[in-house]
Amino acid sequence: MQEYVLRTHQLTKQYGKQVALDHADMTVRKGAIYGFIGQNGAGKSTLMKLVTGLAFPTSGSVELFGAASGPELVQARRRMGVSIESPALYPQLTAAENLEAHRLQQGIPGRESVRRTLELVGLSGTGRKKARAFSLGMKQRLALGVALLGQPELLVLDEPTNGLDPMGVVEMRELLTRLNRENGITILISSHILSELHLLATHYGIIHQGRLLEQLTSRELQKRCRQFIHIKVNLPERAAVVLERELATREFEVAADGSIRLYAHLDRPAAVASALVAGGLELEQLMPMGEDLESYFASRIGGGVHA
Residue 87 binds ligand ATP (CB under 6 A): no
| Binding-site member from 7, 14, 23, 41 for ligand ATP (CB under 6 A) | 41
Stretch that binds ligand ATP, among 13-21, 218-226, 244-252, 267-275 (CB under 6 A): 13-21
Q: Where are the alpha helices (DSSP H) in the chain?
A: 44-52, 70-77, 95-106, 112-120, 136-148, 166-183, 194-197, 218-224, 236-246, 269-278, 293-301
The stretch near ligand ATP (CB under 6 A) out of 12-20, 146-154, 219-227, 294-302 is: 12-20
Applying CB under 6 A, does 192 fall inside the site for ligand ATP? Answer: yes
Backbone angles phi, psi at 28, to 5 degrees: -120, 120
44 binds ligand ATP (CB under 6 A): yes
Question: Cβ 162 to ligand ATP, closest distance in Å?
Answer: 8
Rounded CA-CA distance 199/225 in Å is 14
Neighbour tally for 107: CB within 10 Å: 7
Q: Which of 6, 188, 155 is nearest to 81 (CA)?
A: 155
| Nearest residue (CB) to ligand ATP, 46 versus 126 | 46
Interface pick for ligand ATP out of 10, 25, 40, 105 (rule CB under 6 A): 40
Would you count residue 18 as binding ligand ATP (CB under 6 A)?
A: yes
**Under rule CB under 6 A, residue 293 binds ligand ATP:** no
Q: Read off the amino acid at residue 229.
A: I
To ligand ATP, the closest distance from the beta carbon of 160 in angstroms equals: 12
Residues with Cβ < 8 Å from 165, sequence gap 6 or more? 137
One residue of 6, 37, 42, 76 binding ligand ATP per CB under 6 A? 42
90 binds ligand ATP (CB under 6 A): no
How far is the C-alpha of 84 from the C-alpha of 48, rounded, in Å?
Answer: 8
- Please tell me whether residue 46 binds ligand ATP under the rule CB under 6 A: yes
Nearest to 156, CA basis, from 293, 302, 26, 289:
26
CA 31/CA 29 separation, integer angstroms: 6
Q: Is 191 in the site for ligand ATP (CB under 6 A)?
A: no
Kindly determine how many residues on this chain lie close enough to bind ligand ATP according to the rule CB under 6 A: 12
* Angstrom distance (rounded) from CA 84 to CA 236: 53
CB of 137 to ligand ATP, least distance (A): 19
Instruction: Write out the residues near ligand ATP by the rule CB under 6 A.
Output: 15, 18, 20, 38, 40-46, 192
